[in-house]
């Protein structure tokens, strides 16, 4: 399980709230990774060293989110990408971009897990 910690601000309450939200996401059945990426495509304030595979994933997911935002903007310049969900045969990637950070959840693709985690970001 990969877990990127993020410090939102110096206010302890905000950090506690962010940690609680991240813990709730990670505790969902089937979740294998949680990544928080800043606008430069880097995990901020990491509590561990990132390996090459994780660094590559972060880079590609960041580029993918930027491309998806452009597509939405091209379709309707007044619209903005809020949530992106993509899946392969084995897993799903849930991407929630924001102005400062992008939250990414990777989860196993199973019928039961998919139904349980379908609204993972709405619950938090």
CATH number, domain of 53, equals 3.30.450.30
Number of structural domains (the chain) is 1
Using CA atoms, how far apart are residues 71 and 87, in angstroms rounded to an integer? 18
The verdict on residue 123 lying in a domain is no
The verdict on residue 90 lying in a domain is yes
The whole-number average pLDDT for the span 1-5 is 46
- Asked whether the predicted pLDDT for residue 11 surpasses 70, the reply is no
Q: Provide the token pair at 74.
A: 């091209």
- Asked whether the predicted pLDDT for residue 72 surpasses 90, the reply is yes
pLDDT digits (tens, 9 = 90+) for 84-108: 999 999 999 999 988 888 888 989 9
Alpha carbon distances (Å) from 20 to 23, 68, 69, 107: 5, 28, 28, 19
The whole-number average pLDDT for the span 108-120 is 63
The verdict on residue 7 lying in a domain is yes
The verdict on residue 103 lying in a domain is yes
- Asked whether the predicted pLDDT for residue 61 surpasses 70, the reply is yes
- Asked whether the predicted pLDDT for residue 18 surpasses 80, the reply is no
Burial class of residue 64, CB neighbours in 10 A (0-12, 13-18, 19+):
middle
- Asked whether the predicted pLDDT for residue 53 surpasses 90, the reply is no
- Asked whether the predicted pLDDT for residue 117 surpasses 50, the reply is yes
In terms of residue numbers, what domain contains 48?
2-117
The verdict on residue 122 lying in a domain is no
The verdict on residue 124 lying in a domain is no
Q: Is the pTM of this model over 0.85?
A: no
Long-range CB pairs of 24-29, under 8 A, 24+ apart, other chains included: 24/123, 24/124, 25/105, 25/120, 25/124, 26/1, 28/107, 28/116, 28/117, 28/120, 29/112, 29/113, 29/116, 29/117
Alpha carbon distances (Å) from 64 to 39, 68, 82: 13, 6, 14
């Amino acid at each position: 399980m990969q877990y990127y910690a993020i410090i939102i601000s110096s206010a302890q309450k905000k950090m506690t709230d962010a940690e609680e939200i991240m813990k709730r996401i990670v505790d969902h059945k089937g979740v294998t990774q949680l990544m928080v990426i800043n606008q430069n495509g880097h995990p901020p304030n990491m509590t561990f060293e990132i390996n090459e595979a994780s660094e590559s994933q972060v880079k590609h997911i960041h580029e993918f989110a930027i491309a998806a935002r452009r597509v939405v903007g091209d379709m309707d310049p007044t619209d903005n990408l809020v949530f992106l969900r993509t899946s392969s045969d084995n897993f799903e990637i849930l991407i929630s971009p924001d102005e400062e950070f992008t939250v990414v959840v990777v989860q196993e693709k199973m019928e039961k897990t998919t139904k349980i985690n379908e609204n993972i970001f709405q619950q938090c």
